[in-house]
Structure 1
Amino acid sequence: MSYSGSDPVGEMPEVWLGSHTARSHGVKVARIHMHDWLILLLLVIIDALLNFIEPFHRFVGQGMMTDLTYPFKPNTVPVWAVPILAGVLPIAVFCVYYYYRKDVYDLHHSILGLLFSLLVTGVITDAIKDAVGRPRPNFFWRCFPDGKEAFNPVTKDVICHGDAKVIKEGYKSFPSGHSSWSFAGLTYLAWYMSGKLRVFDRRGHVAKLCIILIPVLIAVLVGISRVDDYWHHWTDVFAGALIGTTVAAFCYLQFFPYPNEIEGWAPHAFFEMMAERNKVQPSGVRANSICMRGMTDIETAFMAADT
């Protein structure tokens, strides 16, 4: 819903900046979205179960080992680093914006949307991993850590004698979880920064575009590392990136307008609140009680430092 009060589109009273803080409105906003937070908890439980169950063990014959004998190397980007890049980093940016603008609607909805992006992506990724059971490029050394092959004389399938947990992870190549999570969080951050920086205001400031591409570049580099480490085939990384990017777009647009729109700097809930306030307050009272300042440049009003 777009704000359609008596003010020019995309403008707002200066006094409203900082009038909706976490202390004054945080509990109210969180209570309204309590069911969303409960769904997030459910997604966490589902994803945990998906990681607990055994994936499908796809048939791997001796002739199929050609593309599965790459070295078993450690991760260039550790598993623990992915939540930091995809989750903590974006939330830090949200908090910095909140520090300057004190808009709890933006803070709450940006974090909620990000968590949905990550967890929905995680559930989709892990569900596909378990269902497909594609061997990783380093599957040979997971299955035969001593280098001695063993195959069933009847079915011709592999008979692994390595560590059970290592073998289990060896059947989870498609799609790449590192890639899907990185793109889910960092692409969401790129969408968020696009709205705040007004990248698509048609003024040709290419520097803004370069800034929002930094998170995307980080996600790309994470994906490349998965191929370089021989933990994933390139198609695994491509599929993971596609899943993460798509989910991030849907989750962002659930809470925010398109970044190229004139109202792209704030969540939908903010404009809904503005519209409701205008319905409640008579225009005469509103004009006398609030000192207005015309703002013909949204980017200057909301992104430049306060004067």
Structure 2
Amino acid sequence: MVSGEEKWKRRETTRGLSGRRELAVLPVVNSFVQDMMTDLRYPMKDNTVPFWAVPIIGIIGPMIIITGIYFKKRNVYDFHHAILGLLFSVLITAVITDAIKDGVGRPRPDFFWRCFPDGVPAYDTFTTGVLCHGKASVIKEGHKSFPSGHTSWSFAGLGFLSWYLAGKIKVFDRRGHVAKLCIVILPLLLAALVAVSRVDDYWHHWQDVFTGGILGLVVSSFCYLQFFPMPSDENGLWPHEYARHILDPDQLENNAQPTSVDRPNFLPNSSFRSSNGLEMGNSSQALEFMEAGRRHQ
């Protein structure tokens, strides 16, 4: 009589007269997990912050604040780049987080109860590997502890919002307004509360939420600085494109093309920006000069 453990380990089926045999082996957890089972016995709990709430916290909430600032300032450049930077921050963070989750496969703190829902552990006699008999989808989800997706998403969206608010209220104007600093810290505090809830629910280890928070902050910082200057800059209130096209249009037009074809100080080793914004090198500049001269002949 075949034992239950052997049934879970492998199933052999004989097909046809040819004697062809198909072997279906259920996934066996690596033996190192058995040694860790004493540290993975935390109870399974529901999420304090459900998965559907994360996009609301990390995306919808910052969008509402950005939209409110747009209705007050009426700057379409600022609104466009803020929404674009926010979406880039969250989406890039989500892709990196999921890739690391699938690659690392670290067990969650409640992995024991995911693997053995009845509380009865089963181990292979020869390899001492863990033979899970829980639901496959629950076991698979139990291998996605590192890093914390809730935390990385929250810090990506709310971290970008902190950068954005720092530029709008000029928190680094060297006047020492503590209230401004508190406003900037509030989004980060909310993201930190989400991270703490993940540890409290036994869905993540502290290293998971720490790494997720750092990941979200780094990506949000890169995305913000891609579209906006540093909040401490003189023009830190508006995005780069607004400064180029609105605040200083004369300089942009002068840099776009030479003012005269026969300029006396037009050196061969100089460079300028063409009408499409591309920087022309020495050879391209000389060709443009020659073509312009032919057209005026």
Structure having the higher helix fraction is 1
1:129 aligned onto 2:107? no
> Matches of residues 69-218 of structure 1 in structure 2 within 5 Å?
69-218=41-190
1:262 aligned onto 2:230? no
Checking the alignment, whether the CA contact within 8 Å between 2:29 and 2:130 is kept in structure 1 is no
**Distance apart, 1:278 and its partner CA:** 2.3
Checking the alignment, whether the CA contact within 8 Å between 1:58 and 1:133 is kept in structure 2 is no
Q: Which has the larger radius of gyration?
A: 2
The total of aligned residue pairs comes to 228
Checking the alignment, whether the CA contact within 8 Å between 1:57 and 1:133 is kept in structure 2 is no
Cα 1:280–1:74 change in 2 (3 A) is closer
Runs of 4+ in structure 1 deviating by more than 4 angstroms, as ranges, are 56-60, 279-282
Checking the alignment, whether the CA contact within 8 Å between 2:29 and 2:129 is kept in structure 1 is no
Structure having the higher strand fraction is 2
**Structure 1 equivalent of residue 37 of structure 2:** 65
Checking the alignment, whether the CA contact within 8 Å between 2:30 and 2:129 is kept in structure 1 is no
**Structure 2 equivalent of residue 296 of structure 1:** none
In 2, Cα distance between the equivalents of 1:110 and 1:191?
Answer: 10
In 2, Cα distance between the equivalents of 1:268 and 1:262?
Answer: 12
Given the two structures, how large is their TM-score scaled by the length of structure 1? 0.71
In 1, Cα distance between the equivalents of 2:251 and 2:235?
Answer: 19
In 1, Cα distance between the equivalents of 2:29 and 2:98?
Answer: 15
Cα 1:60–1:146 change in 2 (3 A) is farther
Cα 1:58–1:252 change in 2 (3 A) is farther
Deviations 1:206-239, CA, capped at 9 Å, x for gaps: 0000011100000000000000000000000000
Cα 1:280–1:165 change in 2 (3 A) is closer
In 2, Cα distance between the equivalents of 1:100 and 1:219?
Answer: 26
Amino acid at match of 1:196: K
**Distance apart, 1:118 and its partner CA:** 0.5
Same amino acid, percent of matched pairs: 59
Checking the alignment, whether the CA contact within 8 Å between 2:108 and 2:142 is kept in structure 1 is yes
Instruction: Report 1 or 2 for greater relative contact order, CA contacts < 8 Å, sequence distance ≥ 6.
Output: 1
Report the secondary structure of 2:50's partner residue: coil
Cα 1:57–1:122 change in 2 (3 A) is farther
**Structure 1 equivalent of residue 192 of structure 2:** 220
Q: 2:209 aligns with which of 221, 229, 237?
A: 237
Unmatched tracts of structure 1, length 5 or more = 1-55, 283-307
**Distance apart, 1:275 and its partner CA:** 5.7
Checking the alignment, whether the CA contact within 8 Å between 2:29 and 2:132 is kept in structure 1 is no
In 1, Cα distance between the equivalents of 2:125 and 2:150?
Answer: 36
